[in-house]
Structure 1
Amino acid sequence: MIEKLRTRFEGLIDIEYIRKKVTIRPEPVGDIDRLPPMLAAHILEMALRQIFLPNQFSLELIAELVGRAAVHSAMCSESEQTFVKGMYYPAPAETFPICLTGLAGVGKSATIDALLRVMPGPTEFKIDHCMEPQTAESFWYASAKGKASGKQLLTDFLGIEVTTRENASILKSRAQQQANQRGISLAILEEMQHLTPGKGVALTTDILLTMSGLGLPMVYVSNFSLGHKLLKRNQEDTQRLIAQPRIMWPDAPESKIWTDFIEECITVSDGRIRAKPADFSHEIYRGSYGLKRAAIHLMVQAYIQARTLNRTRIEIEDVHRAYISSSYYSYRVDVEELERIAIQKNSKRDDLNCPFGSPIRSNVVQFVRKERDNRVAQAAFKGALTAEERETHKSLKLDTDMKVQKHQRPKRPSLGKPTNDDLGNAFSDYFGDKDDE
């Protein structure tokens, strides 16, 4: 029955299987226009945040991590003797964790959630060494948020009080035994950028080194700012903790995955986006730099702008107003700084600069440069006009916008339901005219 531990990962590394398993297309939001604007916007935002269409990076990363877990599980359960030995005498081992990093809001946590959906669930197996059937788990998911040390992370895993007098070395050995007994094959650590303030990077280093000492394949999630801090550590730390970065970048503006994401947002909004999909996709990308979290927030704010004007459908102008609104201010500052970095390639903000020297995609840079050139050309054109020419240009634009809109024939007023007297008078008039003839 030990074979169950090896076969539980079969078929889980196939890219197409992963794509079908992790893709989420939520139901349209339905009739939310009768609700107050802010409540309707909240419902729309919750629905949009459920969307997950994995790009090639996410698919390949999930396949890699599941594959590493499968190899580890196969090694630990090569035979029943090997498995039992690991329960009592775990071999000392150290792994170099994978660092999943990228800009805030690019989709790192969503990718980890997708990974958890692919990993096999609890598996019951039987070995001669134990009288009762055992249950194997495939992963250990932990959050570093609020942890005071790597020792506290181990005590949480073991389910004991953090005040125990056992040192970190003994706790690590016990955690290895527990991991082998439970069949855990992958460790996932999140919230690394939200550790206790004031402790610096020393706390982060302690937790990561403790986790890597368990000998499990491991991935941890961090933003760019943490990568810059870890690079300032000593060589023995950097070579262990950030030797295997996986950098997640926003999707390209002309990519199919970005187009599919926008089309899915239009579907989930239940047709509340009136603009042409291509134009809408372009404006959302320009206002969000392709970051999914920012893009969704911009769409929601555009819906609020439309409701403010007594409309229930989002137009391009609503996106423009949402971009300059106070509710989008923090995102706007980041987007404009990212555009400046793409062109000038220098910034003092560590949270927006990749610490591993990976260049921004060339098609994203071309998109940013093209948009900058267009804005400069428009500003130069308008600046060269006289006051009279500016008014003429404004009126021409209004005339063009009016011609674009379809002319709707005014609807005739309803005659209403005729009364009995009306029917009698009409009968008399009609047959009275016949008698006159």
Structure 2
Amino acid sequence: MNPWLRPYDDLADDRSLASNMEHVPATVGQLSQRSASLASLELEHFLNEIFLSTPNTLAIARKILNRARLHIETVYSDAAAYREKMFDYRPDSFSVLPMCLTGLAGVGKSALLKALKRSLDVVSYVDVGMGYKTVIRPCIYFPVCSHGSVSNVTRSIVAQFIDPAVEHAAHDRPSTPHESRRPTGYSMNSQEAAKWLAFRDGTGVILLDELQFITHSETANTLATKVIYATGYIGPPLVFASNYDMVVRIQRRGQQDRDRLLTDPAVLRPDSLYHTDDVESWQRYLRACVTVSGDALAPDFDYFFEEIHHMSYGLRRKTVTLLSLAYGIAREHSRNTATIKDLRDAYSSQNFSTHRLDVEALRNIDANGGRNPRARIDGNSSSSLICPFPEAQADTFVRQVAELGRQTLDLSNKATLSAYSPKERSEYKASGGVVETAADEKKKRKAPTTRRPKKAGELIAGTRDLLNSGSRRKPTMK
């Protein structure tokens, strides 16, 4: 049995993989003892910790693990081969092309990579003979953020291999001078040090997260491309995560870059309401949110799973923000449990306005068959909302039909509500319904405050009349 494959053997089936990846924190307690704003923030923190697998996340995680396993099988055949390559390892450049993990902002790309890292984050050791035990570090997870240069990124990756406690436990004998040096003391640059350390520690995959933050320019892509190449040349298969707009920027580069960097994409999509498995995953997630919240969220929230999906587009970040805002609204009204009415108020609130614009733009894109009818909708760039890798036409058509059907149903509901008597409307509203009839919307509209400016002739005539009256009108108190 190949000891370097042991971490992957433990995740051989989807059930064990899901069990290791999923994380539901303990129930948050004593929220009612805190101020409304602090309690809302604490609830948001706990809800952000939830990770439950979906069919999409499991498929992507399995794809990543298969790449890592193939790399380990190819490079680490036995202990003798490992000792032979230990100080003279030269990895092939891009033995496996990088994998691009992309999706909408807030869909859960970082959460997926962190969950995969958590499932592989079990440090073990291999006896390679000659009294030497080497550590197995199956996965390196690194959020790029703003590191400024390629060398800064590779140096930061090298630093992740330096763990004094792990290094000390890996040796049954004192370290040789060569082994005890830190990578920055080697007569090699940071990229070469990263190559050697990745081989030494049996690393099967490198997860590069938040690539879009490597540069804050809307057009620059050279630095991001260099970082991908430099990290890919370290040796283990590379997975880099980025939002749609960064992928679009890379697509503008030459054909040689597109062929190497974008030919194996994995698109993480939010749960939809058009597939049974997705619906079950979405309901399970809402139930987990209710459980973690204690009594902060009403227990019937999963009953309104379609409406909550409609408000958040199934995006985890927007859902968490929506739920925490709803709880804050409930606390402001001296209640300790948020209901569906609070959720509707949160969706219409100013604090959720940016998310609301995104959700409405995404639904508009679905209704138009995956196309943005305008270059920008409410300030949202189409490149950040439309997947740069076209999906199957059948899937696009399903979403288009479903969204158009939902819009038709909304119009029908508004027409029905407008026909209600005042008593029926008040009863419906008291039961938690939202009454938005055309008459109600008209009442909410403010009368225009601007008036037509006076013409010169009118001003002259008014002045003449005032002088002829012989007295000035006294101001009246209102």
TM-score scaled to structure 2, two decimals? Answer: 0.75
Q: What is the SS of the residue equivalent to 1:67? A: helix
Residue 386 of structure 2: which of 347, 353, 374 is its match? Answer: 353
Q: Give the alignment of 1:82-97 within 5 angstroms.
A: 82-87=81-86, 88-94=88-94, 95-97=96-98
1:397 alignment partner in structure 2: 425
- Could you report, residue by residue, the CA deviation over 1:197-221 in whole angstroms, capped at 9, with x for unpaired residues? 2481000011111122223111111
> Does structure 2 conserve the Cα–Cα contact (< 8 Å) formed by 1:76 and 1:86?
no
1:278-310 per-position Cα deviation (integer Å, ceiling 9, x unaligned) = 542122111101101101111111112222222
Following superposition, the deviation at residue 84 of structure 1 comes to: 2.9
Shift of 1:10: 1.7
Deviates more, 1:75-84 or 1:35-44: 75-84
Most deviating of 195-204 and 44-53:
195-204
**1:150/1:208 contact within 8 Å kept:** no
Q: Does residue 54 of structure 2 align to residue 55 of structure 1? A: yes
1:49-128 superposed matches below 5 A: 49-87=48-86, 88-94=88-94, 95-119=96-120, 121-128=122-129
Q: How does 1:139-288 map to 2 (within 5 A)?
A: 139-159=139-159, 172-198=191-217, 200-253=220-273, 255-274=279-298, 276-288=300-312
Asked whether the equivalents of residues 146 and 195 of structure 1 are also in contact (C-alpha less than 8 Å), the reply is yes
Quick one: structure 1 residues 367 and 38, their matched pair in 2 at CA, closer, same or farther if it must change by over 3 Å?
A: farther
User: CA-atom RMSD, angstroms?
Assistant: 2.8
The answer to whether the 8 A contact 1:86-1:181 is kept is no
- Matches of 1:178 and 1:313 in 2, distance apart? 52
Instruction: Name the count of aligned residue pairs.
Output: 393
Mapped to 1, the partners of 2:137 and 2:296 lie a distance apart of: 43
Secondary structure class of the residue paired with 2:383: coil
The whole-number CA distance in structure 1 between the counterparts of 2:334 and 2:85 is 67
| Structure 2 residue ranges without an equivalent (≥5) | 160-181, 376-381, 434-478
Alpha-carbon separation, structure 2, partners of 1:220 and 1:158: 17
Amino acid at match of 2:245: S
Q: Does 1:334 align with 2:358?
A: yes
What is the one-letter code of the residue matched to 1:297?
Answer: T
Provide closer, same or farther for how the CA distance between residues 404 and 261 of structure 1 changes in structure 2, counting only shifts above 3 A: closer
State the one-letter code of the partner of 1:149: S
The alpha-carbon deviation at position 122 of structure 1 amounts to 2.0
Matched AA of 2:111: A
Shift in alpha-carbon separation, 1:93–1:403, aligned structure 2, 3 A: closer
Secondary structure of 1:9's aligned partner: helix
What amino acid does structure 1 have at the position aligned with 2:319?
A: A
Contact 2:183 2:193 in 1 (8 A): no
Sort the Cα spacing of 1:274 and 1:179 in 2 relative to 1 into closer, same or farther, 3 A. closer
CA distance in 2, matches of 1:295, 1:177: 43
Out of 355, 362, 375, the residue aligned to residue 410 of structure 2 is: 375
2:338 maps to which residue?
A: 314
Distance 1:243 1:272, change over 3 A: same
Q: 2:135: which partner in 1?
A: 135
- Whether contact under 8 Å (1:225, 1:351) holds in the other structure is yes
Match of 1:44 in 2: 43
Flag the 1:339–1:67 CA change in 2: closer, same or farther, 3 A. same
CA distance in 1, matches of 2:184, 2:405: 56
Question: Contact 1:275/1:316 (CA < 8 Å) preserved in 2?
Answer: no
Contact kept in structure 2, 1:343 and 1:368, CA below 8 Å: yes
* Alpha-carbon distance, 1:381 to partner: 5.8
Shift of 1:367: 4.1
| Shift of residue 132, structure 1, vs aligned partner | 3.5
Does structure 1 conserve the Cα–Cα contact (< 8 Å) formed by 2:25 and 2:50? yes
Measured against aligned partners, the alpha-carbon deviations of 1:44-87 in whole angstroms (never above 9, x if no partner) come to 21221122110011112222222322222222221334223433
Taking the aligned partners of 1:274 and 1:103, their CA distance within structure 2 comes to 28
Q: Percent identity?
A: 24
| Structure 1 unpaired stretches of 5+ | 406-437
State the Cα distance separating 1:353 from its structure 2 match.
0.6
| TM-score normalised according to structure 1 size | 0.82
